[in-house]
Amino acid sequence: MASPQLGVSIDFSQGPAFVSTAFTLDSATKGVLGTGQLADFDANVDITPSVLRVSVRRGRNRLLNKFEAGSAVVEVRDQTGDWNPANTSSIYYPNLIPLRKIQIYADYLGVRYILFTGYITSYDLQFVRGVESTDKVVLQCVDAFRLFQNAQIDTVPAAAAGDLSGTRVNDLLDLTSWPESLRDIDAGDSTLQDDPGGVRNLLDAIQTVEQSEFGAFFMDAEGRATFYDRDTVSKYADATPYVFSDDGIELPYAQIDLAFDDALIVNDVTVTRLNGTPQNVFDQTSIDTYYIHAGTREGILVQTDAEALEQAEMILDARKDTQVRVDSMTLNLMEDNSSLVIAGLDMEIFNLVDVTKTMAGATSITREVFVQGLQHDITRTTFTTKVLTAEPIIQAFILDSATQGVLDVAGALSY
């Protein structure tokens, strides 16, 4: 039986862009014009043989309704002291410094699947006593959200009233020279006010644009700053889903977590644009049933109060009621099921998942949900992937769609 093979590489070259093949003079393979990238030096190091354990966490905080910095922990055996930054004899000296680039991947059936791309923030050395003990270094890693949080900005000279949201995201990334090769930015559906200026960090500024658009901004597994406008997000609800079930026919999961609570209910919504009037909507039936669950969104940059109101109405329609949710499912990627392994390795934020759980009492639930987070835990003998999910908050009427093109069904039309 084939199983996914973990891999970890570190790129010690400078700058935020990852260099897969540095152009190297006099090299028969890396010195061929048109095949490599220019870099300060070729310092891509494969550390896979020394890796003991890897843990990856990426995705959206559902309660805060925002994407957070992805993180990874990599445990590396260090029997030679090469991972000691003070060891001048180390093969890595003097490159063991914070914010060097790291990529975690898995090879399966001849295909490489990237699981995390980010930066090493610290090298935690652990020395233990005993004949059978193993000295190791723990690499603490984060994705580029950490870099964006550390970048302070003020004015955005390229910004102007009437900019599409995608244009504004690119303007903000340009301020800190984020590489074009590490961007996947939609054009956007909303036009914005001029940038308000003022000292803030780059991530906060981009997330204000994200909320204004009612889209999504996150780092994908390959380290690209990714911005989806609401049209893209809504159309993902009509994509071909990964289908999971416990019926022995569809893709199997090892564990599933269901929830039925009031954690995500919002039945009194106020959205206020910058320099605008608060737009409030509420659902009295929901308030009578669950009591008041208020939510606010302030300072968004849309140009009209009418658009702020449309945003409030969409939030209310999606969140005023509750139902049994599929919060997460865990997959065992060591199973002898190639379709399952490929799904677990290839899934990305906003992929569509169809999940069915059969329960006692001849009942079952089926939910179609978005992937909102991915967690990989890998050792030399185990490989599990936890998929965090959430119901779509944006619904759009899509012509010729079997699921999103049906009139008079429950749901809200995207504005």
- Per domain, the residue ranges of the chain are 5-143, 148-228, 236-260+323-390, 268-319
149-193 per-position pLDDT tens digit: 999 999 999 999 999 999 999 999 999 999 999 999 999 999 999
Nearest to 316 by CA among 292, 288, 289, 295: 295
Radius of gyration of the CA atoms of the chain, in A: 24
Contact 110, 4 (CB under 8 A): no
In this structure, the dihedral spanned by the alpha carbons of residues 322, 324, 327 and 329, taken in order and rounded to 10 degrees, is -160
d(CA 17, CA 117): 11
Beta bridge mates, 151: none
Helix residue ranges, H only, 82-160: 145-150
271-312 per-position pLDDT tens digit: 999 999 999 999 999 999 999 999 999 999 999 999 999 999
Could you tell me what percent of the chain has a pLDDT over 70? 87
d(CA 15, CA 10): 13
Paired sense of beta strands 216-219 and 183-185, if any: unpaired
d(CA 365, CA 189): 35
Q: Which CATH architecture has domain 236-260+323-390?
A: Beta Barrel (2.40)
Which residue in the block uniquely carries the two structure tokens 């780092």?
219
d(CA 87, CA 84): 5
d(CA 383, CA 121): 24
User: Percent helix, strand and coil across the chain, each rounded to 5?
Assistant: 20, 35, 45
Side chain identity at 62, as an amino acid letter?
R
Which of 1.10.10, 3.40.30, 3.55.50, 2.60.40 is the CATH number of 148-228?
Answer: 3.55.50
- Cα 316 versus chain centre, distance: 25
Q: How confident is the model at residue 399 (pLDDT cuts 50, 70, 90)?
A: very low
Q: Can you give the pTM of this predicted structure?
A: 0.89
d(CA 174, CA 162): 18
The answer to whether domain 5-143 has CATH 1.10.287 is no
At 209 the pLDDT is: 98
164-173 per-position pLDDT tens digit: 999 999 999 9
Paired sense of beta strands 255-259 and 363-379, if any: unpaired
60-115 per-position pLDDT tens digit: 988 778 899 999 999 999 988 899 888 999 999 999 999 999 999 999 999 999 99
DSSP state of 390: E
Provide CB contacts within 8 A for 80, sequence distance 6+.
none
Three-state secondary structure call for residue 115 = strand
State the first-to-last Cα distance of the chain, in angstroms, to the nearest integer.
49
- Cα 294 versus chain centre, distance: 27
Q: How confident is the model at residue 44 (pLDDT cuts 50, 70, 90)?
A: confident
Please, is 260 exposed, middle or buried when counting C-beta atoms within 10 Å of its C-beta (0-12, 13-18, 19+)? exposed
